[in-house]
Amino acid sequence: MKFMTAEPFRIKMVERIKKTTKEERQGWLKEANYNAFKIKAENVYIDCLTDSGTSAMSSEQWSALMLGDESYAGSKSFYKLEESVQDIFGMPYVQPTHQGRAADYIMAKLYAKEGKYAIGNMHFDTFRGNAEVLGAIPVDYVIDEGKDTASAAHPFKGNIDINKIENLIEEKGSEQISVVIITVTCNNNGGQPVSMQNIREVSALAGRYNIPVVIDSARLAENAYFIQQREDGYKNKSIKEITREMFSYCETATMSSKKDGLVNIGGLFVTRDEEVLQMAQQLAIVHEGFITYGGLTGRDLEALAVGLQEGCDQQYLEYRINQVKYLGDRLEEKGVPIVKPTGGHGVYVDGRRFFPHIPQHEFPSQRLVVALYEEAGVRAVELGACAFGSKDPVTQEPIWPDVETMRIGISRRVYTNSHMDVIANALGEIYKNRNEYKGMKLVYEGPITSLRHFTAGFELL
């Protein structure tokens, strides 16, 4: 029934957002050197830069904040969080961290090894950065269908290509691979899910060679929902039964709680291995805080304990995934080339198919980000030539990525479908006039190429 996908909540507090004029936005774009990260949030009408840390908390979460136990050690709030995490992950040991990348750091210190391969479907930047600093070799082995933005045929485009892992083992030897990391859902290619079968098979293969498996689980509930809806044998399973099975195939999980945890800050390092826990706790004490708060306040732990449960709620997920699909459907009706099928946390527009006349070295997806803000005050993010571009370490020649998209990240429980219509209509208009747009020139970048998108400066050609 279609109405079942409407919001399973009502709104009791609102935050004003500002409508601005095109002339104003052109001025702000210029001041920001055409980089969306440098635009002031107050000058954004609908903010789709990210789905991270931007959720609206529920009345239950706000009231839980008042129970925050701010004890340095052994706070009541930690034990509530621990119980909530154990319930969803089915794993015994929980170390909170201040956000996902802190958990990634601890995980990289334990699992990424100098000169050895860290295999992933598509590694998120913060693990990749940590791994590279440690001298490890991160490789992305997402299935080929995962790179084909136009095909909606494969229901699990975040899956890892098992053959590629086997070939690497054959070629280099299993001792050259220190870890396999499965990111659910796969953020870099459209929030695409990973199937249970793939997680199970990757785990079995890695297990035969004693290679540990880690799950980067920022969007664990969205992934579980896709498994429930799309994979044989899961239709009658609850979201938590599915998450517990997912994590039964790994040794350790990291989580940025700023996504499916429905909180504004927080992260988790979760493991079933006692020795791994002990090492993680040592690193947490040095970098995050004592083991029962990990850089968070008691209030944060309380809000997360509740938010994790709400994030796994069937009715919430039905609304959530269908709102993203709603935007995707509106865009498709207008002919806008999006990554298909729509994923969990946003709609990704294919920059090369949108602006076929703008070559990758003139940043088509970034041009689209600028056009969308200019026309409608909507802020999205480039995941393409700028964010994922790299350089040959010897010649410094640019290397252009396979992925060339603009991500419209949808915050959880924040915007209505009227906002989705604004985004779809604006992009539809831009698409009609697409031939009038020219590319962009990168005029400034910081010293670390993999982080350049945060501070880069552009000019319009």
Which amino acids are annotated catalytic?
A: 72, 124-125, 216, 218, 259, 453
Among 35, 50, 297, 342, indicate the residue that binds ligand F0G (CB under 6 A).
50
Among 80, 128, 258, 412, indicate the residue that binds ligand F0G (CB under 6 A).
258
Our finding on whether 75 is near ligand F0G (CB under 6 A) is no
Among 35, 149, 159, 187, indicate the residue that binds ligand F0G (CB under 6 A).
187
Selection from 143, 457, 219, 190 nearest residue 350 by Cα: 190
Among 129, 267, 328, 343, indicate the residue that binds ligand F0G (CB under 6 A).
267
Selection from 454, 445, 353 nearest residue 50 by Cα: 454
CB of 263 to ligand F0G, least distance (A): 10
User: Taking contact as CB under 6 A, which single stretch among the options 3-11, 65-73, 95-103, 196-204 is the one that binds ligand F0G?
Assistant: 95-103
Is residue 137 within 8 A of residue 181, CB to CB? The reply is: no
Exposed/middle/buried for residue 393 (C-beta within 10 Å: 0-12, 13-18, 19+): exposed
Is residue 412 within 8 A of residue 321, CB to CB? The reply is: no
CB of 259 to ligand F0G, least distance (A): 7
CA distances from 297 to 12, 64, 82, 101, 266 (A): 25, 12, 15, 18, 10
Our finding on whether 95 is near ligand F0G (CB under 6 A) is no
Selection from 230, 253, 115, 266 nearest residue 184 by Cα: 253
Among 47, 216, 251, 350, indicate the residue that binds ligand F0G (CB under 6 A).
216
Our finding on whether 124 is near ligand F0G (CB under 6 A) is yes
CB of 188 to ligand F0G, least distance (A): 8
- Name beta bridge partners: 349: 338, 406
C-alpha gyration radius of the chain: 21
Other CB atoms within 10 Å distance of the CB of residue 14: 7
Q: Please, which residue, 296 or 430, has the CB nearer to ligand F0G?
A: 296
Size of the site for ligand F0G (CB under 6 A): 15
User: Taking contact as CB under 6 A, which single stretch among the options 56-64, 99-107, 306-314, 360-368 is the one that binds ligand F0G?
Assistant: 99-107
Q: Please, which residue, 55 or 69, has the CB nearer to ligand F0G?
A: 55
- As a whole number of angstroms, the distance between CA 441 and CA 461 comes to 7
Q: Which positions touch ligand F0G (CB under 6 A)?
A: 50, 52, 99-101, 104, 124, 126, 183, 187, 216, 218, 256, 258, 267
